[in-house]
Structure 1
Amino acid sequence: MQERVASFGFELKSQSGAARLGLLTTPHGVVRTPAFMPVGTVGTVKALYFDQVKAAGADIVLANTYHLMLRPGAERVARLGGLHTFMRWDGPILTDSGGFQVMSLSKIREMSEEGVRFRSHIDGSRHMLTPERAVDIQCLLGSDIQMQLDQCIELPAEPREVERAMELSLRWAERAKRAFETRAAPGQALFGIVQGGTDAELRRRSADALVGMDFPGYAVGGLAVGEGQELMLRTLEGVLPHLPTTKPRYLMGVGTPSDLIKSVQRGVDMFDCVLPTRNGRHGLAFTWNGKVNLRNAIHAEDPSPLDPQSSCPAARDYSRAYLHHLIRSGEFLGAMLLSWVNTAFYQELMAAMRAAIAEDRFDAWAEETLSKIE
């Protein structure tokens, strides 16, 4: 287990262009940035042991406030020793606020200044999620990095609706910060979330207001929700200059290997996405030569490994023919092996980015790598 610290910090070690190499310090250890956080929605990275997640190179994982508050319940997790103990992960944990899931999964929801009243997608039970309650839940879970409650909207949307959601999220940020200051344990950190759709002026207003609240880190939310990569990157280019260079920048819910490389190239430090494990469960593998769909018949008699360059035994030691057979047969092992492959690939990708930044050759590395994997 890593040595515990009672403070949160971020150290920018070097840059290559706008790409940043850093160290993020939390009570449960140090995170090397740029970092990709495997998504452990309900306290598990689907189809993987946490020993595999750690061996793949992940320093930090993400868990979901909405799902854990509904089942098994944040109070129960706290009674059982907190989320780190509960899920047997001794590294840093980031929890999202639950806002996105409330908007996308709840059967019935009512938005107000106070918060969001909704019905559980599991059993229809009624719940109220406020900025203060979201902080309470995350403190009960014991996560190292917590997120403010915000309102997420699907793009494209009417400009008036985008502005209304951004302003509401700012008011919720102020309330979340006040609640966090009275309830958090030493070393925990709360991040503010920049909203505003793809409107550069709304994003600037959101960023400026959050920076004025002096959060220890900032997330860019509300992207990768239908706007396309080009518009996402243009939005990042507009908002990142308004965020402090001395604090971490987290792009929420992103994304493909190409998304990660191009976002790091613009100055993003942290990412999360379900894509590696979700695609693995459906037979799609990420490799250094691009995506491979193991469902395709072309692999049925191919004895070669999936990716001989991979650090992951599942990519090196099993034939494409066997992986194809497992996926086509619906065997659990197929989903497990390909989720492992993809989790390892994403961590290899982040490690390669960190090395390229340290050697001040990120743009050349990015061009070469994108030509092979896109």
Structure 2
Amino acid sequence: MLTFELLTTDPASHARRGRLTLNHGVVETPIFMPVGTYGTVKGVMPRSLHEMGAQIILGNTFHLWMRPGLDVVQSFGGLHAFEQWHKPILTDSGGFQVWSLGEMRKISEEGVKFASPVNGDKLFLTPEISMQIQTVLNSDIVMQFDECTPYETKGQITTEREARQSMELSLRWARRCQAEFARLQNPNALFGIVQGGMFEHLRDESLQQLVEMDFPGYAVGGVSVGEPKEDMLRITAHTPHRLPAHKPRYLMGVGTPEDLVYGVQQGVDMFDCVMPTRNARNGHLFTRFGDLKIRNARHKTDPRPIDETCTCYACAGSSGVAWADGGREGFSRAYLHHLERCGEMLAPMLATVHNLHYYLQLMTGVRGALDAGQLGAFAARFHADRARGV
């Protein structure tokens, strides 16, 4: 089940405010979705995800198929009970992971043959098998199996001809996914994925044919795959607002805080990216006033929190009050610097809590600005604050 209600639009851009109802709950859009590759968002307790306002998270079809395997997940009745997350889940199709295997995989019309990165077993993933896996996972949003068109292969930029062949293969696979999804009587929602590389006219062809297939929602794939930033922005500006207005739009694998605000202005409703969690594990923190690298020596004695305006547990403690009179409960930059230098696991845990909280609060602010008809002013303040520096 999926219903999408368009609540308001921004007259100065393509931005919109919506409400997405799925089998496991309601999602207010625009939204950022934390990535939980193996059935967990790395370094974060599910309770913390609830507390920071996560509405929907991702699971990874490919990796969950490898480990723990479908028999284990099926014995729990699906991914929600297995990982104890009872809000909505979106699962990717496995296409991106297959793409990332490089020389370890061979693509044909039927599907993809590859060696398991876990034990070397010879495996075969097809559109039908992807639908079968995601049906067992019982994710609220299922992604079609597609070929993620690379920006370049072996140092050579993908040609228009190569991008067309890849895009057309993904369209044929989309039809097979739709047929298998219906055969399985999956009660959830299947999204189609727009491909076409860095070529606008190919994106338009992909989009048109997917719209004719009448998916419940649509994603823009094949960006943030190594292309220059200006190309990613160009395709993001071109594609989302051309998708049906009455259905949700998802920009896959993007990105920085600036990318999210830009994407919203281009008509995107849903985002995911490993950046807030992956960067946290490398001591890279996002704040209202720019990015902070906590391993730098200048933080060794700094008593300030990561962000003085942030109410996450890392910055303000369990009270949620930053810099309260008479002290505060949050952790100092000096302490986080110390933990990083010592390799203590608490460092990436606190950093991950902060980064995800920042991303989710950014989207809360975006939704509030859209509700108030003030997105332009919000975006201007956002960019000015980020440019100020920490």
Could you tell me the TM-score, scaled by structure 1's length?
0.96
Contact 1:106 1:119 in 2 (8 A): no
Shift of the alpha carbon at 1:75? 2.8
User: Runs (4+) of structure 1 moved beyond 3 Å?
Assistant: none
Task: Map residues 187-266 of structure 1 onto 2, 5 A cutoff.
Answer: 188-266=188-266
Quote the Cα distance in structure 1 between the aligned partners of 2:311 and 2:86.
Answer: 23
Does structure 1 conserve the Cα–Cα contact (< 8 Å) formed by 2:90 and 2:140? Answer: yes
Contact 2:143 2:191 in 1 (8 A): yes
Q: Determine whether 1:32 maps to 2:62.
A: no
Local SS of the residue matching 1:62 = strand
Q: Residue 190 of structure 2: SS of its match in structure 1?
A: strand
Is residue 115–residue 123 contact of structure 2 (8 Å, CA) maintained in 1? yes
CA distance 1:106–1:196, shift in 2 (3 Å): closer
2:350 aligned with 1:350: no
Distance 1:262 1:224, change over 3 A: same
The one-character-per-residue Cα deviations of 1:255-277 (angstroms, maximum 9, x if unpaired) are 00000000101100001000001
SS at match of 2:36: coil
Distance 1:107 1:197, change over 3 A: closer
Counterpart Cα distance in 1 of 2:168 and 2:349: 42
Cα distance in 2, alignment partners of residues 67 and 280 from structure 1: 22
How far off its partner does 1:18 sit?
1.3
1:139 and 2:135 equivalent? yes
CA RMSD of aligned residues (A): 1.1
36-45 or 301-310, which moves further after superposition?
301-310
Q: How big is the shift at 1:241?
A: 3.6
Which amino acid counterpart does residue 331 of structure 2 have in structure 1?
A: Y
Structure 1 CA distance for aligned equivalents of residues 265 and 149 of structure 2: 26
Aligned mate of 1:15, from 4, 9, 18: 9
Aligned partners of 1:51, 1:256: CA distance in 2, in Å? Answer: 25
**Cα deviation code 1:177-222 (max 9, x no counterpart):** 0111121432x00000000011010000000000000000000000
SS at the partner of 1:365? helix
Match of 1:80 among 45, 68, 76: 76
SS of alignment partner, residue 255 of structure 2 = coil
> 2:241·2:268 contact (CA, 8 Å) conserved in 1?
no
Identify which of 349, 370, 374 aligns with 2:383. 370
Question: Is the 1:265–1:363 contact (alpha carbons within 8 Å) kept by the matching residues of 2?
Answer: no
Structure 1 residue 362, shift from structure 2 partner:
0.8
Using the alignment, how far apart are the partners of 2:174 and 2:186 within structure 1? 19
Q: Are the equivalent residues in 1 in contact too, given 2:36–2:60 (CA < 8 A)?
A: yes
| CA distance in structure 2 between the aligned counterparts of 1:160 and 1:61, rounded to whole angstroms | 35
Q: Which stretch shows the higher mean deviation, 229-238 or 361-370? A: 229-238
Matched residues, number: 367
Question: Which residue does 2:319 correspond to in 1?
Answer: none
User: Which position in structure 1 is the counterpart of 2:47?
Assistant: 51
> TM-score, normalized by length of structure 2?
0.92
Secondary structure, aligned partner of 1:32: strand
**Identity across the alignment (%):** 51
Q: How far did residue 107 of structure 1 move?
A: 5.9
Instruction: Decide whether the 8 Å contact of 1:77 with 1:141 is kept in 2.
Output: yes
In structure 1, distance between residues paired with 2:267 and 2:64: 31
Counterpart CA distance in 1 for 2:264 and 2:241 is 14
Gaps spanning 5+ residues in structure 1: where? 1-6
Are positions 1:102 and 2:98 aligned together?
yes
| CA shift digits 1:336-370 (9 cap, x unpaired) | 00000001000000000001111111122112201
